[in-house]
A and B are shown apart, each in its own frame.
Chain A
Amino acid sequence: MNASMNYVDGNAAGGELSRIFAVDITSAEGQCANCGAKRRFAEAHLYLQCPGLVARCPVCGHVLLRLANIQERIFLDLCGMTRLTFDTTKQSNPTS
């Protein structure tokens, strides 16, 4: 299914998703609604060859998240992920 190698990591969606989420979603752990695998969102397989983006489970390929920008609206479909767990200790950006 993923033989085309046309995907990148969920990490690459961080900028776009920062428009919606107040904290970094890429380091959050998401659970796949299909196979139950728990992985960091950064580890999802992200497809960008579409009007928006699609993230798939790295284990089973099930769609976890779909985001589309259509004119002035953003459509976000998260029904492929049953739960997101955020670690609030890793959200800072220390520079010193």
Chain B
Amino acid sequence: MAGTAVLGRVTWRTATVVGLHDETPTARTLALAVRNWPGHVAGQHVDVRLMAADGYSAVRSYSIASAPNSDGRIEITVERLPTGEVSPYLTQDVVVGDELELRGPIGGWFVWRSDQTESIQLVAGGSGIVPLMAMLRSRSSIGSGAPFRLLYSAREPRAVFYRDELRALSNQGDSVVITYAYTRVTPKDWPRPAGRIDASLIATGTWPSTLRPTSYVCGPTSFVEHTTDLLIAAGHDRERIKTERFGATGERK
């Protein structure tokens, strides 16, 4: 935005939990009201810090799921990892009214800005859908006509986040084309057997490389490596593929 000063220093802020919503049996969305929130861009993340009584602290990064807005509220969606230090607390113990320490918004690279008009290819692996959802929501909220496609790989149908909202997005006139890939269990009569994204799915489920889309790929590190290689093999320009890796386990530290 012309004339806007450089990003202010990112500092720890207090966020109050104002809503909780289960997306899947293991993932929960937390709506947070953040004091003095400066606003964000779709794709950015925040760091959440939990501090124990003995002073031990743990910091984790979570992508923002909500579209940019000016009401000082954001949403994050947290997948519970059985051995995690932070995610079990955020998905099971937190109640409305609790306060968290939060730093952000962070990152100016893996973002979709509302002035981008080119074709956009989103590729999500599991909870990698979260920052991409912020981009889809941002597109909707500003009425952008940028052509979006989403290729979403999930373990099984019940592991899909934001299912109803995604269905609604794909049913609109200027619709977002969504292709699902299931790695373990498929719905009944699903045309494709369960399995990882492969070259044929890239061919049918993503924009052709000749359109020169900008691609955003987010998920566990091995997923991002695999799909990025497939996109490049299909003729996509590496320079136009932006990635966000969650690491081996899916928990970003």
Contact = CB atoms under 8 A, between A and B. Distances in A.
Interface of A: 4-9, 11-12, 14-16, 18-19, 22-24, 26-27, 40-43, 48, 88, 90-96
B247 interface: yes
Nearest to A24: B108
Q: Is the interface of A mostly helix, strand, loop or mixed?
A: loop
Interface stretch (B36-44, B118-126, B192-200): B36-44
Contacts of A94: 1, 4, 39, 41, 68, 113-114
Interface in B169-212: none
Interface in B99-156: 103-110, 113-114
B247 A7 contact: yes
B244 interface: yes
Interface size class of B (residues with CB under 8 A): 35 or more
Contact of B106 (A4, A5, A14, A92): A14
B107 A14 contact: yes
Contacts of B6: 22-23, 88, 91-92
Given A22-B9, A23-B7, A95-B40, A6 B248 contact: yes
A27 B61 contact: no
B135 to A, nearest CB: 15
A73 to B, nearest CB: 17
A93 B64 CA distance: 14
A43 B7 CA distance: 21
B92 interface: no
B248 A5 contact: yes
A9 B68 CA distance: 23
Given A91-B7, A92-B7, A11 B244 contact: yes
A8 B247 contact: yes
Contacts of B79: none
Contacts of B14: none
A29 to B, nearest CB: 10
Contact of A43 (B10, B70, B243): B243
A15 B47 CA distance: 7
Nearest to B49: A15
A48 B61 CA distance: 12
A18 B46 CA distance: 12
Given A18-B9, A93-B40, A42 B248 contact: no
Nearest to B11: A18
Contacts of B103: 15, 18
A70 to B, nearest CB: 15
Given A5-B222, A8-B221, A93 B107 contact: no
A23 B41 CA distance: 15
Interface in B57-80: 59, 61, 68-70
